Chains A and B, each alone.
Chain A
Amino acid sequence: MEMLMNPSQMTKKYFTPGVMLVSLIALNGLIFLALRLIFGVGAITNLDNQHPWGIWIGIDVAAGVALAAGGFTTAALGHIMHREEYEVVIRPALLTALLGYTFVALSVAIDLGRWYSIWHPLIFWNGNSVLFEVGICVMIYVSVLYIEFLPIVTKKFIGNVRFKGMLAKLNSPVDKLLRMLDRGLDKTMFIFIIAGVVLSCLHQSSLGTLMVIAGPKMHPLWQTPILPLLFLISAICVGFPMVIMESLIASRSFKLKPEMHVLSKLGSYIGPMLGIYLAFKVIDILIREAFVYLMVLSTESVMFSIEIIFGIILPMRLFFSKVVRESPLGIFIASMLVILGVVLNRLNNFIVAYNPPYATTSYFPSIGEISVTLGFVCIEVLMYRLIVKYFPIISIPEKAGVFKTKYSIQGSK
């Protein structure tokens, strides 16, 4: 039997006590952000010449990009492999990726000493620089994500353009323009969908190559020439768990029934993916003989073990269990473990593993850095909630008796 789903606008009211709290954390972040802009990066961060990169790069950017992988993984599954049953999760994943990448770009910008020069890579190229490649790929990918989202916007306004007063004359031309745009996008969308997947593979892996140049400054448990491969696989691993986590939270917060049939099917891909990831990780430290560092008790060995045990092995075991996959709580916990595991991995790679030769102190994020990071996450949540209220993103079951699914996505025809 086929469940018929239709993406709809959420009608629940925007402000709840929870949303108020989230807004306060967001506001707190914005205050610190203002201080950073007025007094410089050093004023509110614990960064120094020994530790040039902190959590704004390690978490906001590196983990942020990984967690937005739901966008390209669901696009690959739903559009490219054409599994229509997953279409219900594509729109929410697209929106998360869109917001995620937008905030990745913002986080990069505020971390830059000269944030107003962020456009320089467009004209000053350095083909040897991994960061240059990541930067350019992300820039193009963000644009692709916006293009992929555009049809949802045009569809909403076609036939609904109602300017008032003086502007009323514009109504019909704007409507025509929207229709043209919509038709054009409909025909060409698959170009962008494939491009999005290619670009994602490129920069997800290059994000791993970033730290390769740090060479011996990076702890041998993590420093390996296959970092790009590990980053790509882990990004693919975390894509579906993110979608599952969001979907469950959204259904709870909007009082909908969770899409368990789709989610547990998605979940069945995660176990094997984690298995592949684990295999690469283990073979890597065996071949490089880096496992000797696990025999000594150190921050690095503890963090590495937590990452492997709680971020890969445990959730892998959970996802292989049918009972867990079919219980909302079980699959939620398993997904959260994968997500936290990948966040920890990025944190480890960019911060814990980074031990410069002349470090006299170790780095711990300041209140300001944490505030801005949390603030950005909260603003993302608030924007997500706002957008699903005004645009049809989240699918709800059609009334009984409707047989043909109305859900068509661009480029799938």
Chain B
Amino acid sequence: MATQGRRDFLKSLSAIGISTIGVAGITPSITKASPENILSKDRMGVLVDTTVCIGCRKCEWACKNAHDMPSGSIDDYENESVFDNKRRPDYSALTVVNKYQNDKTGSPINVKVQCMHCDQPACVSACIVGAFSKKENGSVVWDESKCIGCRYCMVACPFQIPSFDYHKALEPEIRKCDFCFDRTAEGKLPACIEICPVEAITYGRREDLVQVAQEKIKNYPERYNNHILGETEVGGTSWMYMAGVDFKNLDFPTLGDKSAPGVSESIQHGIFSYFVPPVALYALLGGVMWISKNRDKKEEN
């Protein structure tokens, strides 16, 4: 009986081994099922020159219109009192402009805030169902039909961008700038770019924009701080900023050049590399179980 049992045990154990390897065979398709993260050479970007921005907030108005959100009258946007507080994008506004004092020149600095459309987006890596994806044109967009509202994207984003509509019981949305994905697909400019009266925000191939920015810094070293925010931060972003002061004074988080999801993805893929570690652990435990049982049986005899 004991041998019989042992043989059964071994048989089943190898059966599991084989089926687990079968599961391991699916791994590549899991990777394929992951959301797209296309890094096309021709991806678009935006260069925000905070030294040019006049803080008219027309981009805020245009953005709301382009996304069917209540926008009110454009005249209301001339009201300067909103600058008393620093604002963040949320479900009612995908982009906002904040005003900062400039101790160097005395004239204020205006900073438009929205999703940076990272090249290695943390939100895309984090989302449990792959609702976020990085598109060929550089935009990072959210797919309503997949999202389950877990808000892990918000935990992950290094720029604290995605927002959630907490007061909706059904179909609450994750909202953030989508780089006007629908408009650009029709060949139109993003709404904010189109309306900006002073060309503080330039739309173009990201590669070209980096060059433009570098030239600007070279030609006007007294006007610009030698730092293009977003050129290398968290692996590079589609939206990039220039300023006359240190970005720390403009409330930008200090971030390294490593991509935000890099560490977690390598841990994750280390634990699951072709399911070898779990299968090995399984085999190990099976072995321990078999040996301990044998030992007990011998003792009994």
Residues of A near any B CB (own CB < 8 A)? 37-43, 45, 47-50, 52-53, 76, 79-82, 84, 108, 111-115, 117-118, 120-121, 124-133, 135, 187-188, 190-191, 193-195, 197-198, 201-202, 205-206, 209-217, 225, 228, 354, 356-358, 412-413
Q: Known interface pairs A81-B292, A82-B296. Does A201 touch B281 (Cβ–Cβ under 8 Å)?
A: yes
Q: Known interface pairs A129-B127, A206-B271, A214-B156. Does A190 touch B9 (Cβ–Cβ under 8 Å)?
A: yes
Contact of B167 among A42, A135, A225, A357 (CB under 8 A): A42
Q: Known interface pairs A40-B169, A52-B155, A113-B164. Does A125 touch B34 (Cβ–Cβ under 8 Å)?
A: yes
B146: interface (CB < 8 Å) = yes
Q: Known interface pairs A194-B286, A358-B88, A358-B160. Does A130 touch B268 (Cβ–Cβ under 8 Å)?
A: yes
Q: Known interface pairs A41-B166, A111-B150, A215-B158. Does A120 touch B129 (Cβ–Cβ under 8 Å)?
A: yes
Report the stretch among B65-73, B216-224, B255-263 that lies at the interface.
B255-263
Which 8 pairs of residues, A with B, have the shortest CB-CB distance?
A: A113-B149, A42-B166, A82-B292, A52-B151, A126-B130, A52-B154, A124-B129, A125-B33
Contact of B172 among A41, A76, A210, A358 (CB under 8 A): A41
B122–A198 CB distance below 8 A: no
B251: interface (CB < 8 Å) = yes
How many residues of B are in contact with the other chain, CB < 8 A?
70
Could you name 12 residue pairs across A and B whose Cβ atoms are closer than 8 Å? A118-B148, A126-B33, A128-B124, A128-B268, A129-B125, A129-B126, A191-B16, A195-B16, A209-B271, A211-B155, A216-B255, A354-B155
B253–A52 CB distance below 8 A: no
- Given the complex of chains A and B, what is the CA–CA distance between A210 and B271 in angstroms? 13
- Given the complex of chains A and B, what is the CA–CA distance between A39 and B165 in angstroms? 12
Which residues of B from 116 to 132 have beta carbons under 8 Å from A?
A: 122, 124-131
Which residues of B from 263 to 301 have beta carbons under 8 Å from A?
A: 263-265, 267-268, 271-272, 278, 281-282, 285-286, 288-289, 292-293, 295-296
Q: Known interface pairs A194-B286, A358-B88. Does A114 touch B265 (Cβ–Cβ under 8 Å)?
A: no
Shortest Cβ distance from residue A353 to the other chain B in the assembled complex, whole angstroms? 12
B168–A356 CB distance below 8 A: no
Contact of B158 among A52, A82, A135, A217 (CB under 8 A): A217
Extra inter-chain contacts (20) besides given A114-B149, A117-B149, CB under 8 Å: A40-B166, A40-B167, A41-B149, A49-B90, A53-B151, A82-B296, A113-B172, A114-B147, A114-B172, A124-B129, A126-B34, A127-B33, A131-B128, A188-B12, A198-B278, A198-B285, A202-B278, A215-B158, A215-B255, A357-B159
- Given the complex of chains A and B, what is the CA–CA distance between A131 and B295 in angstroms? 40
Contact of B263 among A40, A113, A127, A225 (CB under 8 A): A225
B31: interface (CB < 8 Å) = yes
- Chain B residues contacting A132 (CB-CB under 8 Å) are 128-129
Shortest Cβ distance from residue B87 to the other chain A in the assembled complex, whole angstroms? 10
- Chain A residues contacting B8 (CB-CB under 8 Å) are 187
B154–A49 CB distance below 8 A: yes
